[in-house]
Structure formats: C-alpha cells, structure tokens
Amino acid sequence: MKHEVNRDVLGDIVYKALSGNFSKSTHFISHSLVAKAKRKMFNGKIDKRSRIAEIVVTVGMPNYSEREYIRRNKKLGDVFPFTIDRKIDD
C-alpha cells in the first residue's frame, strides 16, 4: 500500500510536536489518509529534565473520531488538506 505523503507535511507535524506547546499534530491529507505525530509524555506533561524526545508518527486511515471530524468539516465546506494541533494541558 502506497501512501502519498509529502516530506514537508511530515516535517511540519514532527516539528510542531517537538518545539511547540502541542502534544499531537494531525494533518488530514484526504478523507481516507491522515498523518499524525504524537509526543510521548509522562503524566500528561513533558519531562523538562529528559535529554530525549520520543515522537510516534502514524500514517494511514483515520480512526473513528477523526472520520467524524472529517464528516463534520465537509458539511461546513472545508477542503483538504488541513492540519489541527492539540495543545498541552498545563
């Protein structure tokens, strides 16, 4: 199975998960393809003492909640591709 994901898209979502106040960044490429980057956290927070940052990158079909989000945004008239980011709760 071949996924049509641009290198810039993956770089952007990984950069947001690493440097910003975002724990998760999701890029909706089409209605059937999503790229996600999620930073591993401890008790919901980033460990400032840690020298490493673990990021999980997932490319594939959207899960149930993401499909619902896509359906809702199609009705509102949003077009692909678009990106959403989840902030870290302090």
Which residue ranges make up each domain of the chain? 7-87
Tens-digit pLDDT profile for residues 35-82: 999 988 888 787 778 888 889 999 999 999 888 888 888 888 877 777
For every residue of 39-76, DSSP letters joined together read E--BTTB--TT-S---EEEEEES--HHHHHHHHHHHHH
28 strand-pairing partners: 34, 82
Whole-angstrom Cα distance, residue 42 to residue 54?
11
Tens-digit pLDDT profile for residues 1-22: 566 778 888 888 888 888 867 8
Predicted pLDDT at 80? 74
- pTM exceeds 0.95: no
For residues 19-30, average pLDDT: 83
90 falls in which pLDDT band (50, 70, 90)? very low
